[in-house]
Structure 1
Amino acid sequence: MLETKQIGYWYTNEKASLFKNVNMTFEAGESYAIVGESGSGKTTFLSLLSGLDKPKEGSVELEGQNIRKMGLTNYRKHGVTVVFQAYNLFTYMTPIDNLLTAMSITKSQHRGDKDYAMTMLKKLGLNESEMKKNVQRLSGGQQQRVAIARTMVCDAKVVVADEPTGNLDESNTVEVIELFQKIAHDQGKCVIIVTHETAVARMCDHVYQLAQHEFNEIN
């Protein structure tokens, strides 16, 4: 589904590249963890997959089409959704309105369907009262669930997450990764997570380690 073809990235000096000649394939219905030491380039790699940055060489392709030819703005609206450690919710809105706004922006097939938004939030453990609160009044775990629900109501086939459990306790961490697994396995989406937590990585279907400028599958 999502492929990298000979991609490489560096800041100012090609000889000091973070990685080069990376060829990887990510399939629908599977979850992937990207691990590596701080500064190794794993978050940069995720930004390339999500169309937030461009590789210095090579290409990222969704179903055989170069995402740059699709238009990165178009790709970010319709091809991929991103879950950030800081949630990136509209803080002046309720969970319901956050989902409805995302559905409208991405032109989801369910856009405008408030009942659908509420159903998805309920599946992720929010009750009706919590759905109608300003998101800033929710706990960190609840806000992350809203961010995940946002990916579920959009039609994008690829979900990428940058340290999505970094602000959560152990119990919430397990529940959140289980939700990502459901998105992959039940919705048939491709889920790619950058994490520094070994326990989180082990819960995913595949784990790739970025070390010494190369990616290697370790399970």
Structure 2
Amino acid sequence: MLRTEDLGYWYQSKDQPLFQQVNLEFEEGQSYAILGHSGTGKTTFLSLIAGLDKPREGDIFLNDRSLKKIGLTNFRRHDVAIVFQAYNLFTYMSPLDNLLTAMAITGATHAGDKGYAQRILNDLGIGDDLITRNVQRLSGGQQQRVAIARTMCCDARLVVADEPTGNLDEDNTRAVIDQFQQIAHAQKKCVIIVTHEPDVAEQCDHQYRLENKQFVRLG
């Protein structure tokens, strides 16, 4: 589904890259973890595969089409769903309105279908008593589930998540990873999670560690 070809990125000098010549493949129906310490470049890598930034060298392909040809704006709108550590929900909206807005913006198949959005939220433990409540009145774990529900209600086949469990306790962490696995296996989407937590990475189907400017496959 998604692959990188000789991907490289640096800030000031090519002689000091975060990573270079990265060649990885990611498939639908699978979950992937990218491990690494702070500052190694794992979040930058996520920004590249999410179309939030451009690589310094190399290319990224979605179903053999270069993101350069697809266009980053089109790619972000239709092909990728992003779960941020800070959730990035519309804080003045309810969970239901967050999902409906996301479906409208992306032109999703179920755009405008309140029942569909409600069922997704309910399945993730956001009950009817919460779906119309302002998201700022929800707990951190609940807000993260709303952010995940937003990826499920849109048509994007690629889901990327930046430290999605960084603000959660152990029980919520386990629940969130289970939900990502459901997205990958039941919805047949490609899920890529950036994390610094080995326990989180071990629950994914595939693990890579970014170290010494290269991605090393684990397991």
TM range (shorter): over 0.9
Q: Counterpart in 2 of 1:46?
A: 46
CA distance in 2: counterparts of 1:19 and 1:165, whole angstroms: 25
CA distance in 2: counterparts of 1:84 and 1:92, whole angstroms: 18
Q: Counterpart in 2 of 1:149?
A: 149
Matched AA of 2:4? T
Cα offset, 1:69, TM superposition? 1.1
Give CA deviations for 1:18-61 in whole Å, capped at 9, x if unaligned.
11110000000000000011100000000000000000001111
Matched position secondary structure for 1:82: strand
CA distance in 1: counterparts of 2:199 and 2:37, whole angstroms: 15
Cα offset, 1:92, TM superposition? 0.2
Matched AA of 2:137? R
1:47-126 equivalences in 2 (<5 Å): 47-126=47-126
Matched position secondary structure for 1:18: strand
Cα offset, 1:184, TM superposition? 0.1
Matched position secondary structure for 1:129: coil
Matched position secondary structure for 2:23: strand
Matched position secondary structure for 2:143: helix
Runs (5+) with no aligned partner, structure 1: none
Large movers: runs of 4+ above 2 Å:
none
Cα offset, 1:67, TM superposition? 1.0
Q: How many residues align?
A: 219
Identity fraction in percent = 62
Runs (5+) with no aligned partner, structure 2: none
Q: Cα RMSD between the aligned structures?
A: 0.4
Give CA deviations for 1:121-176 in whole Å, capped at 9, x if unaligned.
00000110100100000000000000000000000010000000000000000000
Q: Counterpart in 2 of 1:19?
A: 19
CA distance in 2: counterparts of 1:137 and 1:155, whole angstroms: 28
CA distance in 2: counterparts of 1:37 and 1:122, whole angstroms: 35
Give CA deviations for 1:151-205 in whole Å, capped at 9, x if unaligned.
0000001000000000000000000000000000000000000001111000000
Matched AA of 2:58? G
Q: Counterpart in 2 of 1:192?
A: 192
What TM-score do you get using the length of structure 2 for normalisation?
Answer: 0.99
CA distance in 1: counterparts of 2:84 and 2:68, whole angstroms: 22
Q: Counterpart in 2 of 1:175?
A: 175
Matched position secondary structure for 1:130: coil
CA distance in 1: counterparts of 2:63 and 2:78, whole angstroms: 13
Matched AA of 1:137? R
